[in-house]
Amino acid sequence: MDQAVALPSAARSAALFGFPPADLISPDAEAARRHTIEWLSRYGVFPGDASVAEYDALRFDLLAAYFYPGETGADLALGNDLCGWYFVFDDQFDGELGCRPGEVSRLLDPIVQVTREAGEPAGHAPEGPLVESFRDLWRRIHEGRPRVWRDRFRHHWMEYLTSYHREALDRTRSRPRSVEAVVALRRHSIGVQPCLDLNERFGGYTLPDALHGGFPLAQMREATDDVVVFTNDIVSLGKELAAGDVHNSVIVQRELSGGTLEEAVRHIAGLADSRYRWFEETAARLPALLAGTGAETRLHVGHYVDGMRNVMRGNLAWSFLTARYDERGIAAVSSGRQRPWAGLGACAVPMSGRPLP
């Protein structure tokens, strides 16, 4: 049997990874599930009942419930809206659009413009499901947050959004030259940092910039990115081989090493394990590293570190449950097929002449 066909079930085995999947989950996952489907439907994201069912099988509500196991009600619903929007947006780039940097820029431009708005513009013309749902999400997430947090959140969003343009440029040129090069880009396109930012929002605190961006939290956030990237590259390998994408560390590792897919998968799983071990070793040193800070700050840092751990382990747990990476997920992008919501970018209103940043 061809490796690309045999791989998905093997790649989804927890035995590949040396760290455990999440065992904590919010009790409000089902309510969040219903909320986000209704929210996206209200903005016209789904063209019909069949597309709702296809989206529902992906179970992003479980991903959010693993990411934020201590959250319920409106907070978990907001986290699930973010996860749902992320993946709907990401699916816009699986086809030909993802190979056309100019069109990617035109799709990104109105989204970027929303991040510049002080509030919802009065009487603005409708700009399509992606932009309108993002504007609502952006407004709700920012409500009541201090400027330092909002600036940091926007910075992370800009890194995420502009990564799509960089990936499109890559597809028009040569393939990524190394695992390190593809991971450096995937750290932004994976979208982990804005998800981590929500931990501060839900916890009602804002870490000082010097602490958030200094040692060791900056390095721990990067390790969180890497673990999620490596995990995702393994579990999504069958899907990305079917779609012909190259932004996958397993694919790059196989090309560079000349070995088999199984060997490349195990190599990348080893990198994920190494980064997770470093994270936990550093987390154990935090009391000594933060000895000079106040008790409240140490409490907030502990909550934030738990949030990073929840994202790494939650992503692994969800990957075993979602239809996104199993045979159904592969079929959804095979032979040129795209998700039913993949054409929403055509509804966005171009705003030419604006630079992405």
In tens digits, the chain (357 residues) has pLDDT values of 344 434 545 445 678 999 999 999 999 999 999 999 999 999 999 999 999 999 999 999 999 999 999 999 999 999 999 999 999 999 998 878 888 899 999 999 999 999 999 766 656 677 899 999 999 999 999 999 999 999 999 999 999 999 999 999 888 876 667 999 999 999 999 999 999 999 999 999 999 999 999 999 999 999 999 999 999 999 999 888 888 888 899 999 999 999 999 999 999 999 999 999 999 999 999 999 999 899 999 999 999 999 999 999 999 999 989 999 988 888 888 888 899 999 897 655 443 333 334
CA distances for 65 relative to 197, 220, 304, angstroms:
16, 22, 16
Torsion over CA of 85, 272, 185 and 157, rounded to 10 degrees?
40
What does pTM read for this prediction? 0.92
C-beta neighbour count of 219 within 10 angstroms: 13
Do 64 and 76 contact (CB within 8 A), yes or no?
yes
- Rounded to an integer, what distance in angstroms lies between the CA atom of residue 351 and that of residue 83? 26
